[in-house]
Amino acid sequence: VEFLYCDLASMKSIRQFVQRFRAKNCPLHVLVNNAGVMLVPERKTEDGFEEHFGLNYLGHFLLTNLLLDKLKQSGTHSHNARIITVSSATHYVGKLHLNDLQSRYSYSPHGAYAQSKLALVLFTYRLQHLLTANGNHVTANVVDPGVVNTELYKHVFWVVKVAKWMTAWLFFKTPEEGASTSIYAAVSPEMEGAGGCYLYNEERTKSADVAYDEELQRRLWTESCKMVGILDESSRVP
Protein backbone atom coordinates (compact mmCIF):
# COMPACT_ATOMS: atom_id res chain seq x y z
CA VAL A 1 0.00 0.00 0.00
CA GLU A 2 1.31 3.41 -0.93
CA PHE A 3 -0.29 6.72 0.04
CA LEU A 4 -0.47 9.72 -2.30
CA TYR A 5 -2.07 12.90 -0.99
CA CYS A 6 -5.09 14.27 -2.86
CA ASP A 7 -7.56 16.88 -1.62
CA LEU A 8 -10.78 16.34 -3.55
CA ALA A 9 -11.92 19.85 -2.59
CA SER A 10 -9.02 21.39 -4.53
CA MET A 11 -8.72 21.29 -8.31
CA LYS A 12 -5.00 22.13 -7.94
CA SER A 13 -4.42 19.25 -5.54
CA ILE A 14 -6.22 16.83 -7.87
CA ARG A 15 -4.07 17.86 -10.82
CA GLN A 16 -0.90 17.55 -8.73
CA PHE A 17 -1.96 14.10 -7.57
CA VAL A 18 -2.54 12.95 -11.15
CA GLN A 19 0.91 14.23 -12.14
CA ARG A 20 2.54 12.32 -9.28
CA PHE A 21 0.63 9.16 -10.15
CA ARG A 22 1.52 9.42 -13.83
CA ALA A 23 5.19 9.81 -12.94
CA LYS A 24 5.12 6.33 -11.41
CA ASN A 25 4.18 4.88 -14.81
CA CYS A 26 1.85 2.34 -13.20
CA PRO A 27 -1.25 0.76 -14.73
CA LEU A 28 -4.60 1.72 -13.21
CA HIS A 29 -7.12 -1.10 -13.01
CA VAL A 30 -9.54 0.20 -10.37
CA LEU A 31 -10.58 3.71 -9.34
CA VAL A 32 -12.95 4.05 -6.38
CA ASN A 33 -14.46 7.52 -5.94
CA ASN A 34 -15.38 7.50 -2.27
CA ALA A 35 -14.64 10.91 -0.68
CA GLY A 36 -17.52 12.97 0.64
CA VAL A 37 -19.01 15.43 3.10
CA MET A 38 -22.60 15.57 4.30
CA LEU A 39 -24.85 18.33 5.64
CA VAL A 40 -22.02 20.83 6.06
CA PRO A 41 -22.92 24.48 6.70
CA GLU A 42 -22.89 26.74 3.66
CA ARG A 43 -19.29 27.22 2.62
CA LYS A 44 -17.08 27.07 -0.46
CA THR A 45 -14.03 25.14 -1.60
CA GLU A 46 -10.85 27.03 -2.46
CA ASP A 47 -12.07 27.13 -6.07
CA GLY A 48 -15.32 28.82 -5.05
CA PHE A 49 -17.62 25.81 -5.44
CA GLU A 50 -20.35 24.97 -2.93
CA GLU A 51 -18.66 22.31 -0.82
CA HIS A 52 -21.05 19.39 -1.36
CA PHE A 53 -21.05 19.88 -5.12
CA GLY A 54 -17.37 20.77 -5.35
CA LEU A 55 -15.98 17.95 -3.22
CA ASN A 56 -18.54 15.15 -3.57
CA TYR A 57 -19.08 15.59 -7.30
CA LEU A 58 -16.73 17.94 -9.19
CA GLY A 59 -13.62 16.62 -7.47
CA HIS A 60 -14.42 13.08 -8.57
CA PHE A 61 -15.50 14.27 -12.03
CA LEU A 62 -12.13 15.93 -12.62
CA LEU A 63 -10.09 13.12 -11.07
CA THR A 64 -11.83 10.48 -13.17
CA ASN A 65 -11.46 12.43 -16.41
CA LEU A 66 -7.77 13.12 -15.80
CA LEU A 67 -7.16 9.41 -15.18
CA LEU A 68 -9.33 8.10 -18.01
CA ASP A 69 -6.50 7.63 -20.49
CA LYS A 70 -4.56 5.56 -17.95
CA LEU A 71 -7.66 3.45 -17.23
CA LYS A 72 -8.23 2.92 -20.95
CA GLN A 73 -4.61 1.80 -21.41
CA SER A 74 -4.89 -0.62 -18.48
CA GLY A 75 -8.15 -2.32 -19.43
CA THR A 76 -8.25 -5.35 -21.73
CA HIS A 77 -10.99 -7.31 -23.45
CA SER A 78 -10.93 -9.99 -20.76
CA HIS A 79 -10.15 -7.70 -17.81
CA ASN A 80 -11.82 -4.31 -17.99
CA ALA A 81 -10.53 -1.48 -15.85
CA ARG A 82 -13.25 -0.45 -13.38
CA ILE A 83 -14.52 2.89 -12.06
CA ILE A 84 -16.67 2.71 -8.93
CA THR A 85 -18.38 5.85 -7.65
CA VAL A 86 -20.06 5.94 -4.25
CA SER A 87 -23.42 7.71 -4.19
CA SER A 88 -26.25 7.38 -1.66
CA ALA A 89 -29.93 6.53 -1.40
CA THR A 90 -30.33 10.27 -0.79
CA HIS A 91 -30.04 10.72 -4.56
CA TYR A 92 -33.64 9.43 -4.83
CA VAL A 93 -34.89 12.72 -3.36
CA GLY A 94 -32.25 14.88 -5.03
CA LYS A 95 -33.01 17.54 -7.64
CA LEU A 96 -30.45 18.80 -10.10
CA HIS A 97 -30.68 22.58 -10.48
CA LEU A 98 -28.69 23.23 -13.64
CA ASN A 99 -29.32 26.94 -13.28
CA ASP A 100 -28.03 26.92 -9.69
CA LEU A 101 -25.64 24.02 -9.18
CA GLN A 102 -23.85 26.01 -6.47
CA SER A 103 -27.04 26.50 -4.41
CA ARG A 104 -26.44 30.26 -4.34
CA TYR A 105 -30.10 31.30 -4.38
CA SER A 106 -31.43 28.95 -1.76
CA TYR A 107 -29.03 26.87 0.33
CA SER A 108 -30.17 23.74 2.11
CA PRO A 109 -27.59 21.28 3.48
CA HIS A 110 -29.93 18.37 2.73
CA GLY A 111 -30.75 19.64 -0.76
CA ALA A 112 -27.11 20.33 -1.64
CA TYR A 113 -26.01 16.90 -0.41
CA ALA A 114 -28.79 15.10 -2.30
CA GLN A 115 -28.02 17.06 -5.48
CA SER A 116 -24.33 16.08 -5.30
CA LYS A 117 -25.25 12.41 -4.93
CA LEU A 118 -27.71 12.55 -7.83
CA ALA A 119 -25.03 14.22 -9.94
CA LEU A 120 -22.72 11.26 -9.28
CA VAL A 121 -25.31 8.82 -10.63
CA LEU A 122 -25.97 10.94 -13.74
CA PHE A 123 -22.21 11.26 -14.28
CA THR A 124 -21.66 7.50 -14.01
CA TYR A 125 -24.37 6.68 -16.55
CA ARG A 126 -23.08 9.27 -19.03
CA LEU A 127 -19.50 8.08 -18.52
CA GLN A 128 -20.48 4.47 -19.25
CA HIS A 129 -22.31 5.60 -22.40
CA LEU A 130 -19.17 7.38 -23.64
CA LEU A 131 -16.90 4.46 -22.77
CA THR A 132 -19.15 2.01 -24.62
CA ALA A 133 -19.49 4.28 -27.65
CA ASN A 134 -15.72 4.53 -27.94
CA GLY A 135 -15.15 0.80 -27.48
CA ASN A 136 -13.03 1.24 -24.35
CA HIS A 137 -12.34 -1.66 -21.99
CA VAL A 138 -13.44 0.30 -18.94
CA THR A 139 -16.66 0.01 -16.93
CA ALA A 140 -18.28 2.59 -14.67
CA ASN A 141 -20.73 1.69 -11.91
CA VAL A 142 -22.28 3.52 -8.98
CA VAL A 143 -22.67 2.13 -5.46
CA ASP A 144 -25.06 2.81 -2.60
CA PRO A 145 -23.21 1.71 0.56
CA GLY A 146 -26.26 1.98 2.79
CA VAL A 147 -26.35 3.71 6.18
CA VAL A 148 -22.86 3.30 7.62
CA ASN A 149 -21.57 4.20 11.07
CA THR A 150 -18.82 6.71 10.16
CA GLU A 151 -17.85 10.32 10.91
CA LEU A 152 -19.93 11.43 7.93
CA TYR A 153 -22.70 12.32 10.37
CA LYS A 154 -20.73 14.83 12.44
CA HIS A 155 -22.70 17.80 11.05
CA VAL A 156 -26.17 16.50 11.89
CA PHE A 157 -28.20 17.99 14.77
CA TRP A 158 -27.26 16.84 18.28
CA VAL A 159 -30.58 15.04 18.68
CA VAL A 160 -29.79 12.94 15.62
CA LYS A 161 -26.31 12.27 16.96
CA VAL A 162 -27.75 10.96 20.21
CA ALA A 163 -30.23 8.77 18.34
CA LYS A 164 -27.41 7.50 16.11
CA TRP A 165 -25.27 6.69 19.17
CA MET A 166 -28.14 4.73 20.71
CA THR A 167 -29.22 2.81 17.61
CA ALA A 168 -26.09 2.47 15.46
CA TRP A 169 -25.51 -1.12 16.58
CA LEU A 170 -28.97 -2.06 15.33
CA PHE A 171 -29.58 0.02 12.19
CA PHE A 172 -26.16 1.10 10.91
CA LYS A 173 -23.64 -0.93 8.97
CA THR A 174 -20.05 -1.12 10.13
CA PRO A 175 -17.48 0.54 7.83
CA GLU A 176 -16.44 -2.94 6.69
CA GLU A 177 -20.03 -3.82 5.79
CA GLY A 178 -20.48 -0.46 4.09
CA ALA A 179 -17.42 -1.09 1.92
CA SER A 180 -18.56 -4.53 0.75
CA THR A 181 -20.53 -3.39 -2.30
CA SER A 182 -17.69 -1.14 -3.49
CA ILE A 183 -15.31 -4.09 -3.16
CA TYR A 184 -17.79 -6.31 -4.99
CA ALA A 185 -17.97 -3.80 -7.85
CA ALA A 186 -14.18 -3.53 -7.95
CA VAL A 187 -13.15 -7.19 -7.97
CA SER A 188 -16.10 -9.54 -8.44
CA PRO A 189 -15.90 -11.74 -11.57
CA GLU A 190 -19.68 -11.30 -11.84
CA MET A 191 -19.15 -7.60 -12.64
CA GLU A 192 -16.61 -8.19 -15.38
CA GLY A 193 -17.70 -6.19 -18.43
CA ALA A 194 -20.82 -4.87 -16.68
CA GLY A 195 -21.19 -1.10 -16.58
CA GLY A 196 -23.83 1.54 -15.97
CA CYS A 197 -25.22 -0.31 -12.94
CA TYR A 198 -26.55 1.00 -9.64
CA LEU A 199 -25.52 -1.45 -6.92
CA TYR A 200 -26.90 -1.90 -3.42
CA ASN A 201 -26.02 -4.81 -1.13
CA GLU A 202 -24.02 -6.33 -3.97
CA GLU A 203 -27.05 -6.44 -6.25
CA ARG A 204 -28.08 -4.39 -9.27
CA THR A 205 -31.07 -2.22 -8.54
CA LYS A 206 -32.93 0.72 -10.02
CA SER A 207 -31.81 4.26 -9.33
CA ALA A 208 -34.05 7.33 -9.37
CA ASP A 209 -36.01 7.76 -12.62
CA VAL A 210 -34.46 11.16 -13.31
CA ALA A 211 -30.99 9.61 -13.33
CA TYR A 212 -31.84 7.87 -16.63
CA ASP A 213 -32.61 11.19 -18.36
CA GLU A 214 -29.96 11.17 -21.10
CA GLU A 215 -30.44 14.85 -21.94
CA LEU A 216 -29.87 15.77 -18.30
CA GLN A 217 -26.79 13.54 -18.24
CA ARG A 218 -25.39 15.33 -21.30
CA ARG A 219 -26.10 18.80 -19.98
CA LEU A 220 -24.55 18.07 -16.60
CA TRP A 221 -21.45 16.61 -18.25
CA THR A 222 -20.99 19.66 -20.49
CA GLU A 223 -21.46 22.09 -17.62
CA SER A 224 -19.10 20.09 -15.40
CA CYS A 225 -16.35 20.25 -18.04
CA LYS A 226 -16.69 24.03 -18.09
CA MET A 227 -16.58 24.25 -14.30
CA VAL A 228 -13.39 22.20 -13.88
CA GLY A 229 -11.71 23.56 -17.01
CA ILE A 230 -11.36 20.50 -19.22
CA LEU A 231 -12.24 19.95 -22.87
CA ASP A 232 -15.68 18.45 -23.47
CA GLU A 233 -15.02 15.72 -26.02
CA SER A 234 -18.41 14.10 -25.47
CA SER A 235 -20.12 16.35 -28.03
CA ARG A 236 -19.00 13.97 -30.75
CA VAL A 237 -20.95 11.14 -29.16
CA PRO A 238 -24.77 11.17 -29.43
- Asked whether 139 and 194 are in contact (CB, 8 A), the reply is yes
> At residue 221, what are phi and psi to the nearest 5 degrees?
-60, -50
Contact in structure between 55 and 9 (CB atoms under 8 Å):
yes
Q: How far is CA 2 from the centre of its chain?
A: 22
Using CA atoms, how far residue 63 sits from 25, 57, 58, 66, 125, in Å, is: 17, 10, 8, 5, 17
Give CA angle at 231 (228, 232), nearest 5°. 100
With 0-12 CB in 10 A as exposed, 13-18 as middle and 19+ as buried, what is 215?
exposed
Catalytic residue set: 113
The single-letter code of the amino acid at 49 is F
